[in-house]
Amino acid sequence: MSATTAPEGFEVAAATGVHRLSIPTPFAVGRVNCYLIDDEPLTLVDAGPNSGTSFDELTRALASLGKSLEEIELVIVSHQHIDHLGLVGLVAARSGADVATIDHAVPMVERFAEEMQADDDFATATMLRHGIPEDVVRALQSVSRAFRAWGAPAKVTRVLHDGDTIDFRDRSWKVHWRPGHSPTDTVFEDAERRMLIAADHLLGHISSNPLITRPLDADGERPQSLVTYLDSLTETRAMDLDLVLPGHGDPVTDHRKLIDDRFAGHRRRADKLHRLIADRPRSAHELAQALWGNIAVTQAYLTLSEVLGHTDLLLNAGRVREVEDGGTVRFEAT
């Protein structure tokens, strides 16, 4: 436990009717936190990945709170990642619940497989452009195709917009779009209780990876995920909050300190990459290897995203430039 997180936060939340359901995932991140809101409508925020084990645990977790899956009236999807949305369609089918998500996430939730394929095609081009060897790219494509089984589409029946309010009998939530970790990250603020459901926008125990993701508009430039993410964090930092409930790990009790730590960490990493680039021009893949050594294939895209996020900061500050040579990009110091 660090100074900024505390497991007791789950009890504080539960006393207000917000219950954490810890659901297993097959991914390196471990369990995902879904939340049951014991109110009207009876609401589930995220549902876990699409697997029998996760479904069983979700059903049992609801039963331990005296609820059944069939009673759920509303499922809210926090963002487009499969550890959060995989079971949404099944829960909605069993319960007849409404499915709500931010406008930006609707295509991903409704046409999951096609959108994931488009994401993978974009990731392939990005990886090759930034120096990841072809055999690694091919291996990663098959890993991603296998992972896709943990996702599934769902019909969105209630489209949310940034700034909307979700009214319950005993509370009301403000909807804030906070992209960066993914293009569709959404957080839900209970201003009266100074409580935020943050999903993966702010995690206590690990830095949220600002994954490089396909632009939301088809012909757009590659989004600067980390730059977008830092802007989103700045907005969250300005909020008055006592408790942040994340998508993984323990609740965050001092979001300003945690966000300041994250800002400092990103500055340090950008400086470190700048030193490596000043030493000699390198591709993003070579930079990732210099930072983390020989990276597991499954981590190649995560580490590439991490590097590109920071070279974006350096590019914007005019400290490095991109030089393209035979289809591969290298960064060199200005």
Size of the site for Zn ion (CB under 5 A): 3
Contact range with Zn ion by CB under 5 A, out of 9-17, 114-122, 149-157, 244-252? 244-252
In the complex, the smallest distance separating the C-beta of residue 44 from Zn ion, rounded to whole angstroms, is: 15
CB nearer Zn ion, residue 20 or residue 282: 20
In the complex, the smallest distance separating the C-beta of residue 280 from Zn ion, rounded to whole angstroms, is: 36
According to DSSP, the β-strands at 43-45 and 32-37 are antiparallel
The angle subtended at Cα 23 by Cα 228 and Cα 243, nearest 5°, is 55
36 Cβ partners below 8 Å, 6+ apart? 18, 19, 21, 42, 43, 44, 61, 62, 65, 67
Binding mask 109-148 for Zn ion (x = CB under 5 A): ----------------------------------------
204 is a contact residue toward Zn ion (CB under 5 A): no
Q: Which of 9, 19, 69, 83 binds Zn ion (CB under 5 A)?
A: 83
In the complex, the smallest distance separating the C-beta of residue 248 from Zn ion, rounded to whole angstroms, is: 6
Q: Which of 57, 115, 189, 200 binds Zn ion (CB under 5 A)?
A: 200
Quick check: helix, strand or coil at residue 320? strand
CB nearer Zn ion, residue 30 or residue 215: 30
Residue with tokens 């509303």: 74
CB nearer Zn ion, residue 247 or residue 309: 247
CB nearer Zn ion, residue 9 or residue 247: 247
Q: Which of 183, 246, 247, 251 binds Zn ion (CB under 5 A)?
A: 247
In the complex, the smallest distance separating the C-beta of residue 208 from Zn ion, rounded to whole angstroms, is: 9
Helical spans, DSSP H, in the chain: 9-14, 52-64, 82-85, 88-95, 106-110, 112-129, 134-147, 225-237, 255-279, 284-292, 300-316
Contact range with Zn ion by CB under 5 A, out of 76-84, 101-109, 167-175, 253-261? 76-84
Task: Tally Cβ neighbours within 10 Å of residue 240.
Answer: 9
CB nearer Zn ion, residue 89 or residue 247: 247
Residue with tokens 């935020």: 196
In the complex, the smallest distance separating the C-beta of residue 158 from Zn ion, rounded to whole angstroms, is: 22
By C-alpha distance, which of 153, 163, 241 is closest to 202?
241
Contact range with Zn ion by CB under 5 A, out of 8-16, 100-108, 197-205, 235-243? 197-205
Residue with tokens 């294939």: 297
Contact range with Zn ion by CB under 5 A, out of 64-72, 217-225, 240-248, 324-332? 240-248
Residue 75 pairs in a beta bridge with 44, 99
Contact range with Zn ion by CB under 5 A, out of 83-91, 111-119, 156-164, 266-274? 83-91
CB nearer Zn ion, residue 125 or residue 149: 149
One-character DSSP codes across 25-77: -SSTT--EEEEEE-SSS-EEE----SSHHHHHHHHHHHHHTT--GGG--EEEE
CA distance 212 to 38: 35
Residue 197 pairs in a beta bridge with 188, 245
312 is a contact residue toward Zn ion (CB under 5 A): no
CB nearer Zn ion, residue 200 or residue 286: 200
Count of alpha carbons within 13 Å of 316, Cβ hemisphere only? 13
CA distance 181 to 94: 30
Q: List contacts with Zn ion (CB under 5 A).
A: 83, 200, 247
